[in-house]
Amino acid sequence: CSSLLVATGTWVPNVVNFPGSEYVEGYETVSTNPEDFAGQTVLILGRGNSAFETAENILGVTNFIHMVSRSRVRLSWATHYVGDLRAINNGLLDTYQLKSLDGLLEGDLEDLAIVKDKKGKLHITLRFYLENRNTSAGIDSITLPQDELDNFATRAPYDRVIRCLGWKFDFSIYNRSLKMMPGKGNKIKYPQIKPNYESRGTRGLFVLGTASHSVDFRKSAGGFIHGFRYTTRAVHRLLENRHHGVPWPSTVYPITQLTNSIIKRVNEASGLYQMFTVLADIILLRENATAFEYLEEYPVGILAELEMQTGRKAPNGLFVVVMEYGRNFSGADKDVFYYNRAVGEAQHAWQSNFLHPVIYYYKHLPTEREMRLQPPDWPLPRPDAIHHIVEDFLTDWTAPNAHILPLRRFLENCLSTDLRNFFA
């Protein structure tokens, strides 16, 4: 076949091996019946949504729950990343900070060890305590951390230890000739793919769905159904052009409709909103700016390849419409509720924090080199001109003075054209 679409997800559980890890239950097999945990003391390994979902399910019946991970809690309302902890699952934070019932710990899981006593209780110790020791001799012959430090945090024994460390892509089913390689750094659980969702090692092999999240990991919603339904459609359009010569869908309008077309899209387009900074609307200008061609939800990472990937020409400049958060507004340690966090005046639109439309103007299609050298944390290279539509509390960018007028003037300055409509 000329194209292979891989949509197998990330279903292989992440497993950490340490002494005593055979006593750990996996998220994929552990009971979901809260009654099975009544009165028990539970340790959860991990700190993502699966860990907190598990904790939330048993929170009301357990003795107490501890959670250990190497990283801090990342709240989705602070990071603006839907893969981080959602409010619906964070009940354990209340019982930790307000009730002193449960708790969060930070540490490297590979340094842990678990020892089981004669009563079936699980004791947490550290790997180096077991080095050069015969662990089969029983817990009585093993020095535990609390023997030397009587207030050791996990000195109380646990009834159960549950592994909730997330999932990774299954590379084992692919022959080496396909060169399906894992990503680097925190993207190691995903295959390496290009911004057009094609494998870096094999032409014609495309990765869709959750497994394609390396393109926008920790940025947008490409790893989740409300995001990858739009990226999958984008891949379909790319393949239609590659294999059947069907150009990317577009609509041509007279230039006087430019302002209205942008305003309509930023208020109605779900793909731009869910896949912010990843999918963009492209506006291709016709000669002398008398008309324009509108393309919806194109992957910004392959903007330099637009003519080849879409079958559309861009000889006269273009506008790129994306949605963005403020540059320094998102982060695990950010206070997103601080006073004066919102901008209300159009003249300060560039300081907007909440998700808002940004329009980039390029006199020429950016090159591959310009794409590689784009500023850090920018979705696109530096444009010839840029315009922020000021953030709006109602996410409704239809205000004549605050939203539409500044946009029209920006477009007019870029095109040296009067975009007002006159009727006799």
Residue 423: per-residue pLDDT: 54
Check: pTM over 0.85? Answer yes or no: yes
Residue 422: per-residue pLDDT: 58
pLDDT means over runs of 10, the chain (424 residues): 94 93 96 97 95 96 95 94 94 94 93 90 86 57 71 89 96 91 94 97 96 96 96 98 98 97 98 98 96 98 98 97 95 93 94 98 98 94 98 97 97 94 59
**Can you spell out the DSSP letters for 179-192?**
---B-SGGGTTSB-
Q: Output the CA–CA distances (angstroms, integers) from residue 337 to 218, 324, 342, in the order listed.
A: 21, 18, 10
d(CA 146, CA 21): 20
Chain segment 345-385, per-residue pLDDT in tens = 999 999 999 999 999 999 999 999 999 999 998 999 999 99
Residue 126: per-residue pLDDT: 85
Buried b (16+ CB within 10 A) or exposed e, 153-186: ebeebbebbbbbbbbbbeeeebeeeeebbebeee
Q: What pairing do the DSSP bridges indicate for beta strands 356-362 and 385-388?
A: antiparallel
Nearest in space to 54 (alpha carbons), one of 94, 27, 82: 27
* Domains recognised in the chain with CATH numbers: 4-10+170-244 (no CATH), 17-163 (3.50.50.60), 250-415 (no CATH)
Residue 140: per-residue pLDDT: 60
200 Cβ contact partners less than 8 Å away, ≥ 6 residues apart = 179, 181, 192, 193, 194
